[in-house]
Amino acid sequence: MSLLNIENLSNAIGDKAILKGLSLSINAGEIHAIMGPNGAGKSTLAYTLGGRPGYDVTGGSVEFDGKDLLELEPHERAAAGLFLGFQYPVEIPGVSNLQFLRESLNNQRKARGQEALSGGEFIRLAKEKAGLLSLDMEMLKRPVNVGFSGGEKKRNEMVQMGILDPKLAILDETDSGLDIDALRVVGHGINSIMRKPDKAVLLITHYQRLLDYVQPDFVHVLAAGRIVKSGGPELALELEREGYAHIVEAEGASA
């Protein structure tokens, strides 16, 4: 049974239509990558699934883990097990990462009818996940993303993912701004947190390089608001070699 099932999804930001009938199905245990040229609607897809205000759905449906995702508020989607790794993680001055995450996690647990984690349990969990991503525990005591380098922000997103333990992670250009070493650490983090039979990942990326570390089961090409081609890992290599224009033209997509 599919964990995420997107059917014919269309949306608009203001008057501008971005997604135009996108369909995609992801099963538990799978890792999917979406690639595509700038302006194809990759980030829009991520934000729309996250429920960002202003990203109005104009058609289609999204089912997530048996629920109508589009009916849920952003925090309800999070509690249902959807995690969005932001391309540009947001700074929240004065609020420490630990505070932020503990409150988020316990809100999610409460929504799921689970007991809140105690302070000690939470700290142990945070230490473990920070260690996984080689992020200094001290960083987690600092305000959310404030003064973090680009690479630190992205690693912090992965630590958050580890702590919140979602069913589905949608990672929007998590590889951008990372050097080679950081890329390896992040890739390792994604694998150890999310590569499980009951979880799935949707990687949104421009480049093949992250896929060297996180081997996708399926690769899709997004252009002009639709999936124009799907294939296995070899498709990413083909894109890297041939460029998007070639494939997009071949599939006859037009904006």
Partner 1 sequence: MSEEVEIRDAEARAAAARVADYEHGWSSEIEQEFAPKGLSEDTVRFISAKKEEPEWMLEWRLKAYRYWLTMETPDWAKLNIPPIDYQDAYYYAAPKQKDKLQSLDEVDPEILRVYEKLGIPIEEQKVLAGVEGARKVAVDAVFDSVSVATTFRKELEDAGVIFRSISEAIREFPELVKKWLGKVVPMHDNYFAALNCAVFSDGTFVYVPEGVRCPMELSTYFRINAENTGQFERTLIVADKGAYVSYLEGCTAPQRDENQLHAAVVELVTLDDAEIKYSTVQNWYPGDAEGKGGIYNFVTKRALCQGKNSKVSWTQVETGSAITWKYPSCVLNGENSVGEFYSVAVTNNYQQADTGTKMIHNGKGSRSTIISKGISAGRSDNTYRGLVRVAPQAEGVRNFTQCDSLLLGDQCGAHTVPYIEVRNPSATIEHEATTSKISDDQLFYAMQRGLDQESAVALIVNGFAKEVLQQLPMEFAVEAQKLLGISLEGSVG
Give the binding site for partner 1 (CB under 8 A): 50-54, 73-75, 77-79, 83-84, 86, 89-96, 98-108, 111, 116, 119, 122-123, 141, 143, 160, 164
CB 28 within 8 A of CB 200: yes
**Residue 164 CB, nearest approach to partner 1 (Å):** 7
Residue whose entry in the numeric block shows the structure tokens 């984690």? 117
What phi, psi does 98 have (nearest 5°)? Answer: -65, -45
For partner 1, the closer of residues 173 and 228 by Cβ is 173
For partner 1, the closer of residues 172 and 216 by Cβ is 172
Rounded CA separation 255/246 (Å): 15
Which residues are CB-contacts of 240 (< 8 A; sequence separation ≥ 6)? 207, 208
**Residue 35 CB, nearest approach to partner 1 (Å):** 23
**Residue 226 CB, nearest approach to partner 1 (Å):** 25
For partner 1, the closer of residues 74 and 233 by Cβ is 74
Which runs of E-coded beta strand occur in 86-223? 92-96, 143-144, 168-172, 200-204, 218-223
Residue whose entry in the numeric block shows the structure tokens 């934000």? 47
**Residue 239 CB, nearest approach to partner 1 (Å):** 29
For partner 1, the closer of residues 2 and 107 by Cβ is 107
